[in-house]
Structure 1
Amino acid sequence: MRRVANILIAGVTLVALCLGAWLLRNGIASHLPPQPSAAQAHRGRPPTQPPAPALPPSPPDRVRIPAIRVDAPLMGLGLTPTGSLDVPPAERKNLAGWYESGTTPGEKGTAIVAGHVDNADGPAVFYRLGALERGARIEVERRDGSLALFTVHAVEMYDAHAFPDEKVYGAADRPELRVITCGGGYTKGTGYRGNVVVFAHLTGSRP
């Protein structure tokens, strides 16, 4: 079971993101998305920038990650009837989602953003997420008109069968953000075998 803001999420993380329809159609030789290097992992190192004070709650409307050319609207995500996290429509490749029953990006706690790595037509919104590096900036436009600025302090790859629920989804005593998509090895039978997770914390804001 997986806990996000005191709500349990069951099942494999974002399984619907991980089928790899583009790879199934075109083969995998030259199409695998970039994967994070060991140098970008936590490894017990301190954050690259000090945290900023928490913002009041406000739903997010858009996420930008300049280093990997992401500029995408955000939709609210809930839970499926089986208790797993829902996903954005696969056909809308430049759309990401946030878990709207949990923490809003910028307030104290762990906010969750998720998106597809690809769809049947090719790379999707978070195709290059695994190429992100420590120190990169993530910007989240919020409905109250503010801009929450996050700094990446780790990028990790986890096998789906060894996903560290508490590390990714657990409560935080400062404003944190997780951005999740699929990654790792790929097989036609099971799709992607893991998840890329970006860990970031709030380091600033603009009104």
Structure 2
Amino acid sequence: MLAVVLLAVLATLAFVLSGPGETGQAAPQVPASQAETPSAEPGESGAPADGGGAVEGMPKADPVSIDVPKIEAKSSLVPLGLNADNTVEVPPVTQPMQAGWYENGPTPGEVGPSVILGHVDGNKQKGIFFRLKELAPGDKVSIARKDGTTAEFAVTKVERVAKDKFPTDAVYGDTTEPELRLITCGGVFDKASRNYLDNIIVFARLIAR
């Protein structure tokens, strides 16, 4: 688990979801305080939006698709790892409607934070997570899994954060329940660097299996 978390820390610090024609950036050195096993900050995940109790984690099973009804976002899911330069792989910018899941972390439904990435736009088209910022606590996210089951999540909060202040521990740190993070770009598009300056992060927790 420690190895997975360390990879996740590197991935998070490197993470840049591309806009039109963009590429990822090299990962900076991991601060010593983040090289230890991180844990989610108290209250980061939030209480369940529906007020329900904890749901038992599901067995490991690769996700195959995502459905977010409120924003009409449906996509198959491709596995994403790390590039040779320690940047996170992202779905091809030429296919902005394709979402992917970070395969070095828990699969959706397992105990821990699973992470799904998608473009806000690309190739001069809207991306799968173009409307991600519209989500609010209580909105539902469904993840179909390879074992035939479906993991149902409810959003607990939505954040817009500067990329240089990405909340690594809150996104990738250990959790005691099955949780989900959806991540895309947002904020101002910097033409000089050809990057969005912020990330939109949706936090959710498992409510049904």
Q: Does 1:14 align with 2:15?
A: yes
CA contact (8 A) 1:60 1:143 kept: yes
Distance change >3 Å, CA 84–CA 43, structure 1 → 2: closer
Distance change >3 Å, CA 153–CA 11, structure 1 → 2: closer
Q: Does 1:193 align with 2:197?
A: yes
Distance change >3 Å, CA 12–CA 189, structure 1 → 2: farther
State how 1:35-184 maps to structure 2 within 5 Å.
46-49=47-50, 50=52, 51-184=54-187
Q: Displacement, 1:91?
A: 1.2
Aligned length: 183
Distance (whole Å) between structure 1 residues aligned to residue 179 and residue 79 of structure 2 = 18
Distance (whole Å) between structure 1 residues aligned to residue 4 and residue 169 of structure 2 = 9
Distance (whole Å) between structure 2 residues aligned to residue 43 and residue 100 of structure 1 = 22
Distance change >3 Å, CA 10–CA 64, structure 1 → 2: closer
Q: Displacement, 1:18?
A: 3.5
CA contact (8 A) 1:63 1:73 kept: yes
CA contact (8 A) 1:54 1:174 kept: yes
Q: Displacement, 1:155?
A: 0.3
Per-residue CA distance 1:67-126 (angstroms, 9 max, x = gap): 000110000001011112110111112210101121000010110100111012311100
Distance (whole Å) between structure 1 residues aligned to residue 81 and residue 68 of structure 2 = 23
Distance change >3 Å, CA 11–CA 177, structure 1 → 2: closer
Q: Normalization by structure 2: what TM-score?
A: 0.81
Distance (whole Å) between structure 2 residues aligned to residue 43 and residue 110 of structure 1 = 12
Per-residue CA distance 1:124-175 (angstroms, 9 max, x = gap): 1000001111100000000000000000000001101111110111111100
- What RMSD over aligned residues (CA atoms) do the two structures have, in Å? 2.1
- Equivalent AA in structure 2 for residue 60 of structure 1: P
Q: Normalization by structure 1: what TM-score?
A: 0.82
CA contact (8 A) 1:113 1:178 kept: yes
> Percent identity among equivalent residues?
36
CA contact (8 A) 1:5 1:110 kept: no
CA contact (8 A) 1:180 1:197 kept: yes
Greater strand proportion: 1
- The residue that corresponds to 2:35 in the other structure is none
